[in-house]
């Protein structure tokens, strides 16, 4: 029996849709010349995220080329700290820079009360994309998102990316009450921000925990699984039953099972290093899996790309699955390699 639902939503509802629905993390972005054009027009990155017409345009760009099954709102996980009043800038070629929030006083100064108002332009982007999909891509679903509390806290405390986040990890051990207050503030901000996206037309929500796997197991449970589970429970009080949520605890390793069993999401993301055969066996069958092609295989292209994609599909056949990358697409990706991948996926 085939479902009348959009393929992505059917997979999130637990159906083993085949050929698998697909989209790519960071699918709107720097590898596309048409993105670079709009980006230059907007000036800086925050200006682009808060210009609904331009942000909606770049959200839709990859669909016109490749017909993905999902559009993902063009914004950034760091727009939540920005909306709470934290200083944020994106330095060209350096990535994000934030005015660090490193003690109880700074954490208490975050302005939860302004999140909804400051994120209004982002919600207008969501509405515009929803209208664009209805008109031109009726089978494509709109994914809204936020960063998970832990990953957003990493940037807020350390003030920049880099992948180690020493200040954040030390704060979590040294002053767990202050760090816990930051995590709770972020969970509440994320709840408000995600519900606004659903009101504006998001059909699924993804919670990106890109740095979750940096933590040892006890800390992973305390700062990743528990706060995300609380966020999901709080969201569900206001969402329709079964509203599709996707969690992505990157680098979770075998803790992916506990995350999938505990957090209450319909799908979990597999990162590049996750063995899809293992995940198929150790993640409950009703939880959809999403992933996990190596973004560098997409840069390389050729037979290696197709073989990788086929081996992931072989492991996932017969269970609810969404094809994606194991992490974000990288700027040197040749657009024609994405076309070759899309072509292969559509054959199932």
Q: Please, which residue, 15 or 35, has the CB nearer to ligand 1CP?
A: 35
Cα separation, 181 vs 204, in Å, equals 27
Q: Please, which residue, 15 or 133, has the CB nearer to ligand 1CP?
A: 133
The nearest distance, CB 82 to ligand 1CP, in angstroms, is: 11
Picking from 112, 115, 80, the residue whose alpha carbon sits closest to that of residue 98 is: 80
The nearest distance, CB 128 to ligand 1CP, in angstroms, is: 15
User: Out of 31, 35, 66, 76, which one is annotated catalytic?
Assistant: 76
Picking from 246, 257, 292, 255, the residue whose alpha carbon sits closest to that of residue 146 is: 246
Q: Is the sign of the CA dihedral 144, 149, 154, 157 positive or negative?
A: positive
The nearest distance, CB 29 to ligand 1CP, in angstroms, is: 4
Give the CB-nearest residue to ligand 1CP: 161
The nearest distance, CB 161 to ligand 1CP, in angstroms, is: 2
The nearest distance, CB 78 to ligand 1CP, in angstroms, is: 6
Active site residue 344: no
Cα separation, 122 vs 49, in Å, equals 7
Q: Please, which residue, 14 or 161, has the CB nearer to ligand 1CP?
A: 161
Active site residue 221: no
Phi, psi of 145 (to 5 degrees): -160, 165
Q: Please, which residue, 25 or 142, has the CB nearer to ligand 1CP?
A: 25
Cα separation, 192 vs 187, in Å, equals 9
Q: Is the sign of the CA dihedral 314, 332, 148, 183 positive or negative?
A: positive
Q: Where on the chain is the footprint of ligand 1CP (CB under 6 A)?
A: 25-30, 39, 45, 72, 74, 76-78, 90, 95-96, 145, 147, 161, 208, 210, 328
Active site residue 155: yes
Q: Classify 145 as helix, strand or coil.
A: strand
Beta-bridged to residue 96, according to DSSP, are 90
Active site residue 39: yes
User: Out of 31, 39, 191, 294, which one is annotated catalytic?
Assistant: 39
Q: Please, which residue, 15 or 76, has the CB nearer to ligand 1CP?
A: 76
Type and span of the H or E element at 91: strand 88-91
Q: Please, which residue, 280 or 342, has the CB nearer to ligand 1CP?
A: 342
User: Out of 31, 35, 66, 155, which one is annotated catalytic?
Assistant: 155
Buried/exposed code over 272-311 (b: 16+ C-beta within 10 A; e: otherwise): bebebeebbeebeeebbbbbbbbbbbbbebeeebeebbee
212 secondary structure, DSSP code: G
Phi, psi of 291 (to 5 degrees): 150, -160
The nearest distance, CB 294 to ligand 1CP, in angstroms, is: 14
Q: Please, which residue, 77 or 316, has the CB nearer to ligand 1CP?
A: 77
The nearest distance, CB 317 to ligand 1CP, in angstroms, is: 26
Q: How many helices (H) and strands (E) does the chain have?
A: 18, 9
Q: Are 98 and 160 in contact (CB under 8 A)?
A: yes
**Mind telling me the catalytic residues?**
26, 30, 39, 76, 155
């Amino acid at each position: 029996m085939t479902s009348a639902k959009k393929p992505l939503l059917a997979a999130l509802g637990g159906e083993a849709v085949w050929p698998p629905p697909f989209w790519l993390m960071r699918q709107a972005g720097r590898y596309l010349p048409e993105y670079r054009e709009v980006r230059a027009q907007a000036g800086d990155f925050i200006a682009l995220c808060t210009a609904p017409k331009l942000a909606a345009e770049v959200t839709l760009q990859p669909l016109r080329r490749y017909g993905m099954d999902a559009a993902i709102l063009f914004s950034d996980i760091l727009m939540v700290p920005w909306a709470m009043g934290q200083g944020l800038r994106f330095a060209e070629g350096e990535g994000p820079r934030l005015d660090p929030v490193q003690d109880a006083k700074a954490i208490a100064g975050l302005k939860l009360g302004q999140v909804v108002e400051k994120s209004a332009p982002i919600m207008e982007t969501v509405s515009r994309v929803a209208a664009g999909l209805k008109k031109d891509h009726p089978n494509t679903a709109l994914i809204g998102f936020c960063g998970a509390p832990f990953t957003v806290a990493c940037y807020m405390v350390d003030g920049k990316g880099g992948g180690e986040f020493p200040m954040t990890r030390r704060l979590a051990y040294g002053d767990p009450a202050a760090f816990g207050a930051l995590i709770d503030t972020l969970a509440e901000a994320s709840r408000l921000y995600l519900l606004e996206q659903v009101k504006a037309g998001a059909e699924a929500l993804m919670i990106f925990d890109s740095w979750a796997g940096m933590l040892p197991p006890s800390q992973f449970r305390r700062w990743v699984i528990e706060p995300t589970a609380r966020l999901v429970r709080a969201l569900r009080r206001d969402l329709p039953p079964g509203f599709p949520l996707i969690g992505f605890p990157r680098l979770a390793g075998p803790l992916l099972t506990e995350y999938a069993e505990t957090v209450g999401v319909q799908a979990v993301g597999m990162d590049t290093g996750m063995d899809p055969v293992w995940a198929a066996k150790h993640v409950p069958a009703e939880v959809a899996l999403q992933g996990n092609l190596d973004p560098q295989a997409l840069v390389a292209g050729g037979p290696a790309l197709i073989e990788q994609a086929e081996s992931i599909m072989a492991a996932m056949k017969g269970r609810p699955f969404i094809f994606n990358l194991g992490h974000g697409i990288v700027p040197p990706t040749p657009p024609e390699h994405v076309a070759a991948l899309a072509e292969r996926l559509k054959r199932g």
